[in-house]
């Protein structure tokens, strides 16, 4: 069954992979697609990857209460400081 690559850049990438890996174009496309699918299936979600970081940050926080809008707003000056 024919498979046409209509995007010129995609075709060039497939041909470059085939050339550098010393394989046919069909094998190069198959390899690239297989590798991408495997990568996505074994990818660890960001939430799980940051567990250790979140635990370290939580351990250093002295006041665990959520920060309210008034506090966040107080971090920003509403007017630029006067230069004397």
Residue 78, pLDDT above cutoff 80: no
Residue 76, pLDDT above cutoff 70: yes
Q: What percent of the chain has pLDDT over 90?
A: 62
23-47 pLDDT, tens per residue?
Answer: 999 999 999 999 999 999 999 999 9
The C-alpha R_g of the chain, in whole angstroms, comes to: 26
Q: Is 40 exposed, middle or buried (0-12, 13-18, 19+ CB in 10 A)?
A: exposed
Residue 5, pLDDT above cutoff 90: no
Residue 53, pLDDT above cutoff 90: yes
Average pLDDT of the segment spanning 45-61: 93
């Amino acid at each position: 069954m024919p498979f046409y690559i209509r995007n010129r850049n995609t075709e060039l990438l497939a041909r470059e992979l085939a050339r550098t890996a010393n394989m046919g174009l069909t094998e190069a496309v198959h390899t690239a697609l297989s590798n991408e699918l495997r990568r996505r299936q074994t990818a660890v979600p960001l939430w799980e990857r940051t567990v250790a970081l979140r635990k370290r940050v939580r351990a250093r926080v002295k006041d665990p209460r959520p920060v309210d809008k008034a506090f966040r707003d107080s971090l920003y000056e509403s007017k630029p400081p006067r230069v004397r």
